Chain A
Amino acid sequence: MAMIQIREALRQAMQEEMRRDESIFLMGEEVAHYNGAYKVSQGMLEEFGEDRIVDTPIAENGFAGLGVGAAMAGMRPIIEFMTWNFSLVAFDQVINSASKIYQMSGGQYSVPIVFRGPNGLAENLGSQHSTSVDSLYAHFPGLKVVTYATAYDAKGLLKAAIRDPNPVVFLESELTYGIKGEVPDEEYVIPLGKADIKRPGNDVTLVTWGKQLFNVEQAAAELAKQGVDAEIVDLRSLRPLDHETLFNSVVKTGRAVVVHEGFLFAGVGAEISARIQEACFDILQAPVLRVTNRDVPQPYATNMEQLVVPSPERIVQAVRQVMER
C-alpha cells in the first residue's frame, strides 16, 4: 500500500492501461507539454510521446468529436476536458454522437471512449466554472457516468472506464486532486456499477457520490455523537446504478437522505429518491430528503458560495428531520 494523491492515482490508472494497450491515447487542452492543467498527466508526454499524449487547441467540440471518430475506428481515446463546464460546447458530441452511435449503427460501431475532467464546485471560480454536470449526462442511455471520492476508487474505476467498450463520463474534482489515500501496489480494477458502503450503520442511509462523501462522513461522525448510526452508500456510478446495494441499505435502515452537488430540480437525487420510494415504500419511516446546491447560479463570494453547496450542518439537519418522523 502506498499513500498517493488522487491525481497520481488517476495518472497511474492511465499509465498502466496505456502500457498494456497501444490503442489508448490521451488528448485535451494542456495535457502534454504543460503536464496537465491540474498535473494529472504530469510526465506522461515523456513516457508515451506526442502521438499518444496530445495537446489540442481550445476546440472542445472538435477534439471530443475527434475522440469519438477515433473510437469508432478502433482506438481507445481518453478525452480530457479541462473542466466539465467546457464540455457544454461539446455536448453534441457526447450526446448526439458518443451515446447514440452504437444504437444508430444497429450495433456495428461501438464507441470505447472516456471523457474525463473536474466537475462541480471548485471554490470561488464563479458560476461558469462551478457547474455540476452529473444530471445532464446521467439522463442519457448509452453513456456510463462514473465518479469517485477516494484515491483507491479513482484508480480502480478509471481503469475500468478505459477498458469499457462504451462511452464513459468520468467526473473528477479540482478540490480533491491533492487529497492522499491508500492505493495497493498490485493491480486492481473496480467494476463499474458497484456502489460501496463507506460506513456501515443501522439508523439512516446517506446516499452520495463524488467529493460530497467528505461532507457526508463529517456529518455521520457528528450524528454518531448524537446517537444516530448512519450508513453511507457511495454510489460511485450513476449509470449503471447499483440498485441492489442502495435498496438493501434502505430496507435495513428505513430512512434515506441523498446528498449531492448540483440542483434539486431534476437533479440525480430526484431520480434516486423516486427509485427508493418506488422500491421501498412500505419500509420507509420518513420521506426521502435531499441536500443539494441551493437553486441559484454559483456566486463568487466565499460566504455566499458556502451557503449554496451542501455542508455537514445541512446534512445533519436533514437527518434529524427524517429521524424525528
Chain B
Amino acid sequence: MAESLTLPKKSSLEPLDRESLTHLYREMLLIRRVEELAAKAYTQRKILGFCHLYIGQESVAVGAAASTGDDYWMTAYREHGQAMAKGMSARTMMAELFGRATGSSNGQGGSMHLFDKENNFMGGYGIVGGHVPLATGVAWAAKQRKENKVCVCFFGDGAAHQGAFFEALCLAQLFKLPVVFICENNFYAMGTPLHRQSAVTDLSLRALGVGMVSEQFEGFDVEVVRDRVGAAADFARAGNGPVLLEIVTYRHRGHSMSDPAKYRPDGELDEKKKSDPLAITRARLADDFGMTDADFDAIQESVETEAQDAWDFAHASPEPDTSTLYDFTYAPQEG
C-alpha cells in the first residue's frame, strides 16, 4: 500500500453519560422485545414469508446509530433492528411485517424490504451482497454534493464472498468514497459456518487487496460499537476514503423463522449468550452508573407497552387498498 492510514484509536465522540447509555439500552431492549413479538406473530401466521430476526446483534445497529444517526444507511434482509435503530417506529415496522397499509412500504415490501426515507434508511435488500454497490452510489452523491455525510452499509459474513461486494470495495476505494462497510459476522451464512464458507476467517482482510483501511472487533458492547463506527465515520467523513469494519457478533435464533439452527455445536449458543449485548450494558449501567433493579423494571415496562402497542397497531391496521396495485411500479413524471 502506498499509504498506510489507520483508524484513530478513539472516535471524536464524547463518552456516554448515564442518560444516553440508558437510552441505548432501552433501544436494544425494544428491538429485542419487538423481535420476540414478531416471532410470536409469525407462529400465528400474522407475519408471512421470510422473517430473519436480529436477536443477539442489537448492539451493532444501536451502537452504529449512536454515531451515524444522520448518515445514510443501507442494509440486507436481517434489518428490523437496524430500521428501528435508525428511527423507524415499532408501529410502522410491525405494520409492514403484518403486510398492512400503514407499514413503511404500504405493505409492498415486507420483512426484507424496509425503507424509511425520512430517516435516510435506504433499504433492506434480499439478494445477498447485491446492495453493497448501491452504497457506493449513495456515497458518490453525498461526496459530489459535499454533504459531509457517509453511507453506512451493513451486510453479513455470507455476503463477503459475493462478486458484488468485491466490486463495491474496489470502486469505493478507487473513488475515495465516504462509505463505512460493516460486515456483521454472526458466524453463519444460513446454516454454513464461517470456516466452511471461507479459507480466510478474518473477513476484515478482504480490504487489503483493494488498499482499504479495515478493522475487526467484537461488537457485543454497544459503547465499543458506537466508538469504533464513530472512528470509521470520522475517517470517511474527513475524505480519507472508505473503511471496512468486521464486527463479530452472534445471532441467537436461526437464519429465519423456519430454521431451528440444529447445525450449531452443543453448548455454543449458551456460551455466546454470556456476551448478550443486553446483559453487558445492563451490568455496566448497574456497576458504573448505579442503576437499580427498579430502574430496569421501569424500562422493561415501558418497552413492553411500546412493543405491544406496535402489535396492536399493526393488527388493527387495514390491508393495502387493492386499487393501489399499479401505483408502485413507475414513479410519476414530476412537473
Interface of A toward B, CB cutoff 8 Å: 25, 51, 56-57, 59, 61-75, 77, 89, 92-93, 96-97, 101-112, 141-142, 144, 163-166
Contact = CB atoms under 8 A, between A and B. Distances in A.
Most B CB contacts (10 A, CB to CB) among A63, A66, A71 go to A66
B321 to A, nearest CB: 13
B208 to A, nearest CB: 18
A262 B183 CA distance: 41
Contacts of B140: 66, 69-70, 73, 75
A81 to B, nearest CB: 14
Given A56-B171, A104-B113, A73 B108 contact: no
B260 to A, nearest CB: 29
B174 A57 contact: yes
Nearest to B103: A106
B59 interface: no
A108 to B, nearest CB: 4
Q: Lowest 4 CB-CB distances: which A-B pairs, in order? A: A69-B137, A65-B133, A62-B167, A106-B105
Given A102-B329, A103-B328, A73 B123 contact: no
A104 to B, nearest CB: 4
B135 A69 contact: yes
Nearest to B141: A73
A89 B117 CA distance: 29
Given A61-B163, A102-B329, A102-B330, A70 B174 contact: no
Nearest to B167: A62
Most B CB contacts (10 A, CB to CB) among A75, A106, A107, A163 go to A106
B331 A102 contact: yes
Nearest to B320: A106
A165 B331 contact: yes
Given A62-B171, A69-B141, A73-B141, A104 B109 contact: yes
B328 A70 contact: no
B144 to A, nearest CB: 6
Contacts of B167: 59, 61-63, 65
B60 interface: no
Contacts of B105: 104-106, 108
B142 A69 contact: no
Interface residues of B, number: 49
Contacts of A75: 137, 140-141, 144
Most B CB contacts (10 A, CB to CB) among A57, A65, A75, A105 go to A105
A164 B333 CA distance: 7
Given A106-B104, A165-B333, A72 B122 contact: yes
Contacts of A105: 105, 108-109, 113, 115, 117, 123
A71 B124 CA distance: 17
Contacts of A92: 127, 130, 164
A204 to B, nearest CB: 33
Interface in B117-166: 117, 122-127, 130-142, 144, 151, 163-164
A71 B123 CA distance: 14
A102 B123 CA distance: 11
Interface string B69-82: 00010100000000
B316 to A, nearest CB: 19
Contacts of B333: 163-165
Contacts of A73: 72, 122, 137-138, 140-142
Nearest to A102: B331
B207 interface: no
A103 B107 CA distance: 10
Given A57-B174, A62-B136, 18 more contacts: A65-B132, A66-B171, A69-B122, A69-B136, A70-B137, A72-B134, A73-B142, A96-B125, A96-B126, A97-B125, A102-B331, A104-B108, A106-B103, A107-B327, A107-B328, A107-B331, A109-B117, A112-B331
B168 interface: yes
